[in-house]
Chains A and B, each alone.
Chain A
Amino acid sequence: MIRTYRALLVAQLQAVSQYRVQSVLWMLLEIIRPVIFLAAWVAVANSQGGQIGAYDVRDFAGYYISLTLVLQLVFSWNAYDFEYEVRLGRLSPKLVRPLHPIHYAVVENFVWKVTTFIPLVICLAVVILTFDARFRTTPAHLLLFVPSVLLGAAISFLSGWVLATTAFWTTRVHAVSTLWDRGLFIFAGMIAPLALLPGPLQAIALVLPFGYMLGVPAEILRGGIDVPTALLLMVGQAIWVVFFYIAFHRVWRAGVRQYSAVGA
């Protein structure tokens, strides 16, 4: 399997190298939204004496910069690609090969993250300097951040595949994935840090998977939560990984039986 991954990695790197400018543009597009939220929260905080809850202007900057980095490391776009592949019949050649189609997506995600990481870090460095971002990160936070961001990526990737697999029944999953994105927008810590959500929304966010994808690793990276709380939230992340792993296997098995190989 390692040799297969190496070959897929080389091929994907070659494919991506053909579209370097496009990759950077996508990356820039991804960081625009959190930076807009950062600017908005900074404006609101300044209008209220520089502080909202436990966050001052520099904390907001630290949070949204962490969130942008986490978003880049965690986010996967499987549902969109998968629908496209099912609808145009491009999934069929993959299904008749002795390699589960999920492995291609793992490599595509990994290569996308690797190739856009350095330009992203440069952009974020500029934002850090511009907003004088504050991080309360300790070595313990950094240590916890690595497994936390991996768990967040696993939730994002597997939940994306569960959604994508519904294309076996519906052929189109765009509406479902858009609904999912709206959930992400509200409950993942994008519109506001989870700690600043109104009480009922915060309670809902704690039982939904979205915050465990983005908000939790972002707060750990910023050092915004203490280590015991971080560990507790990481248990929540692990539970969601197991949930989506089992869900994916079940939905995939049923979906493949349902597959009608349209357009192929």
Chain B
Amino acid sequence: MTEAVVDVRELRKTFRVTEREEGLAATLRSFVKRHRKDVNAVAGITFRIDPGEVVGFLGPNGAGKTTTLKILSGLLHPSGGEARVLEYVPWRRENAYLRRMTLLMGNRSQLVWDIPAADSFRVLQEIYRVPEEQFRSTVAELTDLLELAELMHKPVRNLSLGERMKVEFAAGLIHSPAVAFLDEPTIGLDVSMQARIRRFVAEYNRRTGATVLLTSHYMDDVVALCKRVIVIHHGRLLYDGPLADLAERMAPYKIITATLHDGAAASENLDGYGTVVSREERRVMLRVDRQVAPERTARLVNDLGGRLADISVEDPPIEEVIDRVFTSEQTTVRA
């Protein structure tokens, strides 16, 4: 078995939060007595990630994704359990560990706003003790991959959000980390910039063999980058396995889309083939149990005959699968 880069066992994090009801009376009471409640942000999750893997870490808001990333990057101390990243205990925050990992948060800036990125990179070079030759080649490579040449000498505050994100990426990778924790790296970016960042992460992983754990609410990020996903909800692990198997295991149905020549799809009675989920003038979508999908498709082709212009059988959209996972809260599934 390969030595895991990230090895997490029964990791837990409980936050004690203050609660109070709305209104003046409750506000006044809160001056004297506060109600505190324990919130289990991470409630005992276990997983391991091998070298070079790009893993998507999925869950709705408040699922515990970012808390887990913060623990693994050493920002937070857990309430229980164990974790090792590159053999280090993250929350001891040993410099040797911090030099080999990066935490990139899409909504947070780590650059000095008032100076050009090139100067911030020099500071980071010294903080991470990157030898001059390696620094030059890394900056050249990042400049090439992220198309930074035009941006390097402008004060960071003058860059657009997308430009700043590219520069943030470069800053986070200047020390060529072996592990990258990416928390919503494409948040707020336009579609083209999202695609560029995705291409960059994939290329970076291919070139350096870095291990990447990525959270994102954009399923396109996950589909483009991650063969494997870990799904958590309410701090518990719901699924850990190939992205390709997620739909099969969590959504036991397929979507059949039939397009007709004569525009009668809106009125055609197709209830006998499956559950109609949408109808347009020429197109109808049916939800069909996974096991019977081939047979229903064949029947449709046969029954509609020449009226059928096109037919496709697909897994439901990944967003729908994930939504189903979160709403049904199925028990842990390991692929």
Contact = CB atoms under 8 A, between A and B. Distances in A.
B105 A92 contact: yes
Interface string A85-99: 000011011111111
A99 to B, nearest CB: 5
A15 B112 contact: yes
A19 B99 CA distance: 32
A15 B123 contact: no
Contacts of A4: 123, 126-127
Given A10-B119, A14-B119, A96 B114 contact: no
A37 interface: no
B122 A92 contact: no
A257 interface: yes
A110 interface: no
A97 B127 CA distance: 8
Contacts of B125: 7
Contacts of A256: 77, 93
Given A93-B108, A260-B76, A264-B108, A98 B120 contact: no
Interface stretch (B67-75, B189-197, B216-224, B268-276): B67-75
Nearest to A18: B114
B93 A11 contact: no
Could you tell me the dominant secondary structure of chain A's interface residues?
helix
Contacts of A261: 70, 75-76
A84 to B, nearest CB: 14
Nearest to B91: A257
**B contacts with A: majority SS:** mixed
Interface residues of B, number: 32
Interface string B176-213: 00000000000000000000000000000000000000
Interface in B46-95: 70, 73-77, 93, 95
Contact of B75 (A6, A15, A99, A264): A264
Given A4-B126, A18-B114, A93-B108, A11 B119 contact: yes
A80 interface: no
Nearest to A263: B108
A10 B70 contact: no
Given A7-B125, A8-B123, A96 B95 contact: no
Contacts of A182: none
B103 interface: yes
B108 A11 contact: no
B105 A264 contact: yes
A11 to B, nearest CB: 5
Interface of A: 3-4, 6-8, 10-11, 14-15, 18-19, 89-90, 92-99, 256-257, 259-261, 264
A-B interface, 7 closest residue pairs, ranked by CB to CB distance from nearest:
A93-B110, A98-B95, A7-B126, A15-B114, A98-B98, A4-B126, A14-B115
